[in-house]
A and B are shown apart, each in its own frame.
Chain A
Amino acid sequence: MNLLYLFVIIPLLLMGGVAMLRDAKQIKILMAVGASLLLATSFVLLYAYMQAKALAPNEVMYFQSDLLWYPSFNIKLSLGVDGISVLMIILSSIIVFTGVFATWGLKEQVKEFFLWFLMLSTGVYGFFISIDLFSMFLFYEVALIPMYLLIGLWGTGRKEYSAMKLTLMLMGGSAFLLLGILGIYFNSNAEGGPLTMNILEIAKVHIPVEAQNLFFPLTFLGFGVLGALFPFHTWSPDGHASAPTAVSMLHAGVLMKLGGYGCFRVAIYLMPEGADTYTTLFLVLTGISVVYGAFGAIVQKDLKYINAYSSVSHCGLVLFAILMLNRTAMTGAILQMLSHGLMTALFFALIGSIYGRTHTRLINEMGGLMKIMPFLAVCWVIAGLASLGLPGLSGFVSEMTIFVGAFQHADTFHRVLTIVACASIVITAVYILRVIGKILFGPVQDKHHENLTDAFWYEKIASVTLIVFIAFIGIIPFFSSDIINESLTSIIGKL
């Protein structure tokens, strides 16, 4: 049996298991076992991928399987992965695993929470293993809709408003996307072949340039909304601020990566000439995302808002690098997805832990947490340093690669834009250090905070796991960047 099926089957089986159990404790243990199993399976997949790659180095996708679904449309359930999707799957598994431990303290409606959480993960995994536009879109929407109830029921603050805003904006994005997909599908017979939804088969066809110019912006925008492209990023701060911890982690850590991944796997891979036409426009928008997100983070008072705006900035950098359309920058983009996914998940996990203790997320109501909860505080510092790009942690590797790649363009426009985007690093340092200074050091702001406990065992598992992977990418960058670099060959060949 194909290994890839497991990534849909395991979450579905887990859903069945969770639905049958009654006791909250048992559900959590089952989830922990299931999430560990998923994590293990993704590493097995990585190993199997490297074996397969060594045997047949020139394949575009490995472990392909085709299941004819709707014969009259030639829609198939096509699965397949390359190095990039394998890394994305590992990232998802890490976040799901840590997400389960980060919500260990959940008390109300545990069963429902994990059912929706698993549906969300099924969608995410399904998206990364699909190479068929139809199933990709199907899983994409499966991943979006549970967010509404997850935020609306277990969220905090203005949760109903945020949940509705997030769902509608992302669904609006998928409206653009669907139109783009239909356009690609009905132009996939441009060279006389049958109509097809399979990405690899469409990639062999040269879609007419007029069609590319029409459908590239739609597809890119559709995915871009999920990648927090300016000016469609406004769902992100509200949504992330209101969502419960594990959902923020999964959403900022993985779901926003669906946007970046889709942009380059569908929009740019299938319509490279359309990409060429629109790079200027979209580069400006992503440049704004990068700088505006960073500035937005400076002025916020709520920890979650700060992190959400920082996500807008970092995810903007992903799209920015993808649009540079060269190998180095794209490698950087994928690294940035991994790095940001891990780092932001760590941030949200820590915010969840801190909020669970202090019952506030406002930075001016906290202070001196380093003395009260040293473990959480140290983790926070590490996450912050990764975010502002300290060498040795993941952020440095990805941002360095992106800016080197971006600067390879010799024209003024790209160079100026790169310099502007580089400035975001400085702004990032400002807001990261400001938060660290305010809440971790300095005098204790609230007398009640002095008796608070440090991290529990489950919080430690979540944080330590994430830190290990952040450091792994930072210290041994060539491991992941080689995998990415090899897999980019087919896409670079189209440009």
Chain B
Amino acid sequence: MNIETILLMRTEFLLIFLLVALIVLDLFASNNLKKYFDSIACFLFLATTLVGFLPLNEGEAFGGMFVADRMNAVVKSILNVGVLLVFLQSKTWLNNAYTNHKKSEVYILIISTLLGMDLMISSGHFLLFYIGLELASLPLAALIAYNKYSKESVEAGAKFILMAAFSSGILLYGLSMFYGAVGEAGLYFDALSGLVKPTSIQLLAMVFFIAGMAFKISLVPFHLWTADVYQGAPTNITAFLSVVSKGAAVYALMIVLYKVFNNIFDSWEFVVYGLIVVTITVGNLFAMRQQNMKRFLAFSSISQAGYIMLGLLPGTALGMSSVVFYLLVYLVSNLGIFAVVSILENHSKKESITDYNGLYQTNPKLSVIMMLFLFSLAGIPPFAGFFSKFFVFMAAAEMKYYALVFIALINTVISLYYYLIVVKAMFITKNETPITTVKTDTSSKLGLFICVIGTLFLGILSYFYETINQFSVGLF
């Protein structure tokens, strides 16, 4: 291990360092110092995030096991920003009487799953990929069951761990078939891609692999755990699950499909096409009927995952950059919504859509901000969501998937319907006893501010997309 390796893996090393530092701080610091634990953690994490923006040399470490390229670095930075926003949002929640004594766990666990995601997306070998995947899933189960005296939270944690084990099993089974089929070459991505052929056993392996990842991304029909887990988990953890965890899994799937399975594009195209159609449609149709805000957001995020996959399908450079840009925009908009939901939940313990009736009378600013995020998710200009949806559609239309784009477009109209239901509840429906006026604390305000700025300007300023676009490579 030399200095180049360390520089290539700088994000991972910093995260490990941060992890150790926080554990040490948690164990040995005086109670006085522990009061500032959140601020210290946020500050150190901010430093890590900033380091991620520094220019990077591309290269490989450990004989191609670890690949550092610029697109990976961009995605890692996006995930870092997401985690930072989650940290900022969770401060109020963590400082209540029930969780105050164990708040350090949240930071430590989130950072370790983030480390897993980073390893997963920059892996060049299936072994590291699998280690990263597991490291990303297991701490999540602990986070979901964090409110251990709440029945729903524990139930959600159990569901999640079973699901994660099951999907890992399927994925691993696919990989083992694959390994058997290609023989001696090992499981390096580069070496594999030349050996992949559309034989029946390899196709089966590919399908198992996609199914395993589809569980993680919660694509229909592998989505059944999503609503329950999202509802049971603490709101801020749900935010993390729906954005950061999902985003990393989509990107990792894209990397493997582009790098390993590029020879059998015709075969996975068909599978992914089908997954997109059912995911967008079912996600939308179920979202319309939800009463609970978190279940509602669960189905909304399922359908959003379908839109992200739309950029993945064509296998072009435009597709890759539209996926990463979509992730970025989805991250700020969705985390913004979750920030509002968690602020209101911390204040009033209410999380059903009807509780939001008449919110504009008492909390005008929060309602307007919430509406902005909802419009962004629905793809209404001039908010960022419009641009990200437009580019994803462009990527699909470039390769002549016009029918698919049409289905997706009709679904945006359906999605607009249920996003408008929330807007209607907040602005139009009259309510005698709306949620009382909330005083938000500084860190939530800061988080919301970043989300609002992102939602307003990520699309209008072309800088962000064009930067991402420089680094993207296609299949062909």
What is A's interface to B at a CB cutoff of 8 Å? 69-73, 134, 138-139, 141-142, 145, 148-149, 152-153, 160, 164, 167-168, 171-172, 175-176, 178-179, 182-183, 185-186, 214
Contacts and interface: CB of A to CB of B under 8 A. Distances in A.
A142 B375 CA distance: 11
Contacts of B391: 73
B427 interface: yes
Given A172-B410, A175-B406, A145 B417 contact: no
Contact of B428 (A72, A142, A152, A185): A152
Nearest to B405: A179
A171 B390 CA distance: 14
A142 B381 contact: yes
Interface string B409-423: 110110011001001
A182 B382 contact: no
A-B complex: 3 closest residue pairs judged by Cβ atoms? A175-B409, A182-B397, A138-B381
Nearest to B380: A145
B382 A138 contact: yes
Given A152-B427, A168-B416, A171-B413, A70 B462 contact: yes
Contacts of B427: 149, 152-153
B416 A171 contact: yes
B466 A71 contact: yes
Nearest to A151: B428
Contacts of A141: 380-381, 386
21 contacts: A70-B462, A70-B465, A72-B466, A72-B469, A138-B386, A141-B381, A152-B427, A153-B428, A160-B424, A167-B416, A168-B413, A168-B417, A175-B406, A175-B410, A175-B413, A178-B393, A179-B402, A182-B393, A182-B405, A183-B402, A186-B398
Contacts of A185: 394, 397
Interface of B: 318, 321, 375, 380-382, 386, 390-391, 393-394, 397-398, 400, 402, 405-406, 409-410, 412-413, 416-417, 420, 423-424, 427-428, 462, 465-466, 469
Nearest to A68: B462
Contacts of A71: 462, 466
B364 to A, nearest CB: 9
B417 A164 contact: yes
Given A153-B427, A164-B417, A214-B402, 4 more contacts: A168-B417, A175-B409, A186-B397, A186-B398
Nearest to B462: A70
Contacts of B393: 178, 182
Of A71, A148, A185, the most chain B CB neighbours within 10 A belong to A148
A340 B363 CA distance: 42
Contacts of B397: 179, 182-183, 185-186
Given A70-B465, A142-B381, A172-B410, A160 B428 contact: yes
User: Does more than half of chain A's interface fall in helix, strand or loop, or is it mixed?
Assistant: helix
Contact of B424 (A134, A152, A214): A152
Contacts of B400: 186
| Most chain B CB inside 10 Å of its own CB: which residue of A71, A176, A182, A185 | A182
Contact of B420 (A69, A139, A167, A182): A167
Nearest to A75: B462
B195 to A, nearest CB: 34
A73 B405 contact: no
Contact of A148 (B394, B420, B465): B420
B420 A164 contact: yes
A381 to B, nearest CB: 37
Nearest to A172: B413
Nearest to B428: A152
Nearest to A119: B382
Nearest to A214: B402
A70 B466 contact: yes
From A142, A164, A168, A175, residue with most partner B Cβ within 10 Å? A175
A103 B183 CA distance: 77
A168 B466 CA distance: 32
A153 B398 CA distance: 41
Nearest to A143: B381
Contacts of B380: 141, 145
Contacts of B466: 70-72
B298 to A, nearest CB: 23
B471 to A, nearest CB: 12
